[in-house]
Amino acid sequence: MPKTTSQQQPDPMSVPSQKFDPAGLLTKPELLPVFVTPGGALFNEDCLTLLRATKSESIDTVFADPPFNIGKKYGSRVNDNLLESEYVEWGHEWIRECVRTLKPGGAFFLYNLPKWNVLFGTYLVELGMDFRHWIAISIKFGLPIPGRLYPAHYSLLYYTKGKPKMFGKVRTPIETCRHCSGEIKDYGGHRGAMNPNGVNLTDVWTDIPPVRHWKFKSKKRSANQLSTKLLERVINISTHPGDVVLDPFGGSGTTFAVAEQLGRYWIGSEIENCDVIFERFRSEDLHHHVSSDYVESLAA
C-alpha cells in the first residue's frame, strides 16, 4: 500500500462508491443533517442528541475529542467550566452511548487530558470494553504548572468492543537528525535487516505537529484544532475503506475531512457554529499535514 498523502480533496479512487445515507444509521428520521457530502453527514446538534438517535452496533470507529473542562470559550452552548463531578457524569453519559453504537470489534478513541482519561478509561472497562493502548501524543510548547512535572503529552485512549475486527499496522520513517540528516539510532547493528518501509508505530507519538499555521487552520475558530496526521493514523489503524466513523464533537471537521479523503463514511455532530466545517470541505485554503506513514492492513 502506498504512503498516505497530504492532498486536500478526496482522492477519486478512495471516495465511497455509494452516496452516504445517514437515515440508515438513525432511529429518528426527523433528525436532519445541516451539511452532507458524498461520504458523510453533519448534524448541528448536541452530541447526545445524535448519539441517542444512532442505531446500536452501527458504527465501526468512534473518535471523540471533547472539551477538556479547562474554562475555554467555545460559544454560548458549551460550558467548559463544570464541577469535576458534573464533567465526569456528563462524560459517562456520552461515552456509554458511544459504546452502544459500536459494532462488535469496533474501536473507540478518546482524546483528552491524562487527568480525565484515567477516569474515563476505568469506566470503559466497566462497560466491557477491551483496553488496547494509552497513546501519548507529545505536546509542543506546553506551559509549566507550578508544583508539578512539566506536562508533555495528551492522552489518546484506544479501546475495542471485544476482539478488534481490524488492525492496520502502521510503520513510520526511520528517524533522522533534522540538521545533518543522519539516522539517530544504530538499531544494535541490525539496520540492514530492518523493514525498508520503516519502523513499527509505538504508543508514543512525537511526530504529530501542532496546528498553528493558517495554512492548516481556519481563522473562524480560535479553539485548538487537531492535526490531520493524527486522524489519519486513527482511521488507518481501525477501519477499512467503506467503514463508518463517528465523531460526536465535530469541532473544525478534521475527522470528517480525513475520513472522506481515506474513503470512509462519516457521521458527526457539532453543537456550536458549523461554518468552520463547511469551510474545510468547500475551500481550497485549508491543507492537510504531510504524512509519511506506511500502512499495512492486517487482520488483528
pLDDT at residue 136 tops 90:
yes
Q: Which residue has better confidence, 17 or 196?
A: 196
pLDDT at residue 298 tops 60:
no
What pLDDT shows up at residue 256?
A: 95
What pLDDT shows up at residue 223?
A: 56
In this prediction, residue 17 has a pLDDT band, given cuts at 50, 70 and 90, of low
What pLDDT shows up at residue 194?
A: 86
Place of cell 445517514: 22
What domains can be seen in the chain, in order of their start residue?
Answer: 22-166+204-298 (3.40.50.150)
- pLDDT cut 70: percent of the chain above it: 85
Q: Which residue has better confidence, 4 or 233?
A: 233
First CA to last CA across the chain, in angstroms? 18
Mean pLDDT (the chain) is 86
What pLDDT shows up at residue 178?
A: 78
Q: Helices 84-101 & 114-126, crossing angle to 10 degrees?
A: 50
Q: Which of 148, 143, 163, 80 is nearest to 116 (CA)?
A: 80
Q: How far apart are CA 156 and CA 8, in angstroms?
A: 25
Phi, psi (degrees; rounded to nearest 5) at 253: 85, 15
For the sheet with 294-298, list strands across it.
Answer: 199-200, 167-172, 294-298
What pLDDT shows up at residue 75?
A: 86
pLDDT at residue 297 tops 90:
no
Residues 33-42 pLDDT 10s: 999 999 999 9
